[in-house]
Each structure stands twice: as C-alpha cells, then as structure tokens.
A and B are shown apart, each in its own frame.
Chain A
C-alpha cells in the first residue's frame, strides 16, 4: 500500500470533474421537483444525453456541439415524461421508471457503432499565468468550460428561485398547484418547461461522463449516477448550494475510492466500489429527519376540473 502516491491537489481537481455530472443532473432535478414534479427518469435521460453527446461530438468533431446535442437529447426524452405525466396524467413514479428503462435501451441501441471510439477532447481553460499557479492553478483554473457552467447554473438557479418572479411562480406551482391555478398561472405549462430544463441538465451531465470524465462510450456507463443525483436533491433539502456541496462530497468519495484502489489498499476492489452507494444510503438516513423542505405538491397529479 502506498498512500503517498495520492496527490491531494490532483485529488481535488479530479473530485470536481467527478462531481460535475451529478451536479448538473441534480440541479436540473431540483428545479423539476421545485415545480412539484418527481421525475425518476434522471438515469435514463443522463444515459441518453451521454450517447447523444458522444455521437454528435464524434461525428462533427466538436465537443461543444456534442454537449448541445446531449442537452437536446435529454430534453427530448423528458418530453416523453411530459406526455405521460402532464398530458396523460399517469403516475409519476411509474412513468419515471419507464423513462429510465426506455432510455437505457435506447442508448444501447444508438451507441452500438460507438463502442471503443475516442471522442474529440474537450479543451480546458488555458489561462497563461493563473493556470500555472502551484496549488490554485489546477484546482480553480485548469478545467473545461462545462464544469464552470455547472457551478454557474447552481448560482443561477439559486438566484432565480430566490429573487425572480419566475422563480416565485415556479415555487408556488410546486407548493400548491391548485392555488397557483386559481391565481391564473399555467400550472401545466410551467411544469412542462421545468421538466424540459431538468432533461437538458441531465443530458449535459450524461455527456460530461462520456466526453470528459471517462471519455468513452460503454453501455450503461452512468451506473446509477442519475439515482445518486435524485438522492442528492433530497440530501440538499431542495437548496441549490447544498447540491454543490453534496455533489463534491459524492465526487470526493468516488475519486478517493478510485485512488485507494490504485494505491493498492488491503480492502478488496469490490468493497471500495460499493462505497459511494452505501454512503448515499447513510446520508439519506442521516438527513431523513429534515422533511419540511419538500415541495408540498411533489409527485401529485394536477387535473384542472374547471
């Protein structure tokens, strides 16, 4: 065992990369849940985004077009969820599961020709002086743009929910859709927009896995990250900044266990690999006391009878 081979600066820098997919998916789902919709299809939208982004990036040679395509792909899949839950008024839990099962199959189908290919590299931010700083450089200035976009998105969602009129309406819809409807807000339209936003974010998160984090395409490569993102929203008690904190925590655990594997710790690889899932459960238990923050209409079906 050689723990000295773990470099703390690189560890933090790679922690941020590992956290970004979870962060993107979770902030999208947070907005969806704030609007009172529980979309359990995050995993399906992420894997769809992962393959859409990968395929488009490979075909066009541009990772940015890939990310754009991933967001559209994720949103397109979430449109199916919209049809089921907002138009056909189906059960949201079952519909979300359907979305995940369908997305996993669809992505495997789309991805057949892309196994074993390397995607075009996503360029990193290259600032001459700042990037060369000893510790701060690789941590703060050495990443790609999507990672910063993720953090910016957290700030934007926080500000929008707290200070903007649109954010207030979104929260009203999530807390009491009947009251919001009575006030004349278009409950269904607002929810549809929120679901599409969530889908786009999940798609981006998925593409970050296939284009930056791994970077490669393999079937089922999201391996439960979408579900961890769902748990993260509960962990964050629906507060944007806590999503950032939680994502870095989970990213940290993931990266640390990978580093411990590489360093040859006496714990078997399989037990290290299951640790992020076990810690997710542990965190869910610890935070289960704080129930008050869940949007009151979460998961309830809205049907305007008049």
Chain B
C-alpha cells in the first residue's frame, strides 16, 4: 500500500526539480498529443523548443523571445507576490487592457506633440490604469469581504467590452477611414516604447528586469516581503505578528495591477502598436502559469517567462510549418501547469510503500 508521509520541511531539491520534471513530462505527453493529431512528435517538439533558439531563422526569432517574455514576466512578478500571500488576482488580463487603454489614451491626447515627457506620462498612465482596475477587487475585498477571484475575473470581461468600445469609438483613428483601432503609436516617435525594434528591445523588457530585481529585494531584504511570505504560510501567526491584512491585500493587488497595466502599455505602444479590439492575446492568463512554473520566485519567473515565450514563438512556427493548430499550444501550456501542480506533491510529501496494517 502506498502512503504519503508529510515531510517536516518541504524538500528543497524537489522544489527545484519539479519545474524541470514537469517540463519533461509535458514534452512527453505533449508529444503524444501531437502524435494523435497526426504530426511527428519529435519534429513538433524540436520546432517548438529548438528552432526558435538555434534553428535556421533563429536570428529573427530570438528578439521575439524578449518581446513575448517581457509582458509575461512583468505580470507574473506582480501576481506571484499576491499568490504568495494568498491573494488571488486572476484578472491580470483586465488590468493589462486597462493599463493599455489609459496609457495609450495619454499618448493619443498629446498627439502630435513631440516632447520628451510624453512617453513617461504614458507609463504613469498605464501603471495607474492597471492599478485602479485592481483596486476595485482590492477595496471590495477589504471593505466588504467579497471574493477577489470572482470580482477580478468579472472585470476582465468588463475591460474587454471597454476595449471594444474604445477602439470603435473614442480612440478610433480619425484618419483611419472608418476602420476600427486607434492611431498607430509606432508612427508617433514620442510615444513608442521601442528602444531597438530589430533587437526586440522595448522599455517593457527593461521594466521586467527591474521588476525581477525589485521583487527579489522586496521578498528577501524587506519587512513587507517577509510579511507577504508569512501571511501566505501562516496567516494566524502573521496576524499575531502585527501584519495588517487589509494593507497587504491592497498592496498585493495594487502592485500586480500596476505591473499588468505597465505590461499592457508597453505592448500597445510597441509590439501591438495600436489599441484594437483584439490586441490582447491572453498574457494575463498565461502569466498565472508563468508565476507557478517559476515557483513564485523572481528568478524562477524570469526563466519560466522565457520558457513560456519560447512555447508561444515555437507554437507559431509549428503552426505555419507543421500545420499544428493554435489551440494545441494552449493545451500544451495547460498541461504544463497540471504536471507542475501534481508533482508538487513530492516537495511536501514522501511516498512510502508500507504493508497494510491490521486494523
């Protein structure tokens, strides 16, 4: 009979090993899935994980890794702080949209003024937009005790409708011949987030790296970070230690909203270029996987963001070259989260074989 024995301390080795084992298991089962879909599994896995980095056209794909990875890391860093403290912000996608709308709104309002302060103001607008959207579930939770999971998620759908309304109405390009979508911010030099488009460098990449360092310092060297970790691991002890749960909720949701909003702004002012109905492609949800895959640790999230960006790019290549359906990549990413959660068992428990005892 197999029994689970709780470890006195979570195993450090397994905590580090599970993401790797989960990735391997996902490759195996993902390969099986691709085989069922009638594709050569080895070729599909190679196309997804190898070609973007070392294939013939890697010079084109490598910069894309930064473009796709930056928003994922930026959002996931914010989410991980909340997840650590047991504050579940599931609505990053909505905060991402609102940040993009607010930031792009600032930029469009200044058009065509060419001044150095336009872009910084847009950044502030983006952060505030995401922050404000995340404050709704935060304040409702603190004030009324409503569930932040449900409220933040409902607000994603509200934000999507707002985005549709904005790109068809208020923010529509007046010179766009009636097509939906705003002016292209890439054509407006003072408002673009690109630093070097050929290298895939935009300010979001810089912001993501700063966020990783900031989160690392916060969690390891700052009292607030200690309170976040304490609240997640022992809420009762945290209260005795004088942690103010309301302030912690406001902080965690606020920071994750602001970071998601920033990610949205950098995306809309760079890679996406304009506010349009479907400029958001689910980074806010994928970032949840990134946060868990990175074990809610800043450096882990950096690596996980890179890996997830790789599956996005590799998935696109597999789509065009092998005809692999786009949804297959989504399933693949979902699978990864499954294996990760399941294998986490080994971190907290020992599996022992024991003879059935006589009752």
Contact = CB atoms under 8 A, between A and B. Distances in A.
Nearest to B164: A270
A278 interface: yes
A114 interface: no
B169 A268 contact: yes
A101 B329 CA distance: 11
A103 to B, nearest CB: 8
Contacts of A94: 292, 337, 341
B288 interface: yes
Do most interface residues of chain B lie in helix, strand or loop, or is the interface mixed? helix
B327 A105 contact: yes
A89 B4 contact: yes
A230 interface: yes
A230 B285 CA distance: 18
A98 B341 contact: yes
| Interface residue tally on B, bucketed by range | 35 or more
Interface residues of A, number: 46
Contacts of B164: 270
Nearest to A91: B341
A285 B146 contact: yes
A227 B168 CA distance: 27
A305 interface: yes
Interface in A93-142: 93-95, 97-98, 101-106, 108-109, 112
Contact of B150 (A104, A106, A227): A227
Interface stretch (B44-52, B152-160, B244-252): B152-160
Nearest to B169: A268
Contacts of B161: 270-271, 273-274
B150 A230 contact: yes
Do most interface residues of chain A lie in helix, strand or loop, or is the interface mixed? helix
Given A101-B289, A224-B153, A268-B169, A80 B338 contact: yes
A83 interface: yes
A281 interface: yes
B330 A90 contact: no
A158 interface: no
A64 to B, nearest CB: 28
Most B CB within 10 A of own CB, among A112, A274, A291: A274
Nearest to A278: B158
B334 A84 contact: no
A40 interface: yes
A284 interface: yes
Interface string A226-248: 01101100100000000000000
Contacts of B149: 40, 93
Interface in B122-140: 136, 140
A164 interface: no
A224 B344 contact: no
A109 B154 contact: no
Contacts of A291: 145
Contact of A227 (B154, B329, B342): B154
B312 interface: no
A288 interface: yes
Given A109-B327, A112-B327, A288 B334 contact: no
Contacts of A1: none
B95 to A, nearest CB: 15
A183 B11 CA distance: 33
A104 B328 CA distance: 11
A88 interface: yes
A277 B150 contact: no
Contact of B330 (A105, A227, A228, A285): A105
B338 A98 contact: yes
Interface of B: 4, 6, 37, 88, 90, 136, 140, 144-147, 149-151, 153-158, 161-162, 164-165, 168-169, 285, 288-289, 292, 325-335, 337-338, 341-345, 348-349
19 contacts: A83-B342, A88-B345, A89-B4, A90-B342, A90-B344, A98-B338, A102-B331, A103-B334, A104-B330, A105-B332, A234-B150, A271-B161, A274-B158, A274-B162, A277-B157, A281-B154, A285-B140, A303-B4, A303-B6
Interface of A: 40, 80, 83-84, 88-91, 93-95, 97-98, 101-106, 108-109, 112, 219, 223-224, 227-228, 230-231, 234, 268, 270-271, 273-274, 277-278, 280-281, 284-285, 288-289, 291, 303, 305
Q: Which 9 A-B pairs have the closest CB atoms?
A: A105-B330, A102-B334, A108-B327, A270-B165, A105-B331, A109-B327, A274-B161, A90-B341, A98-B337
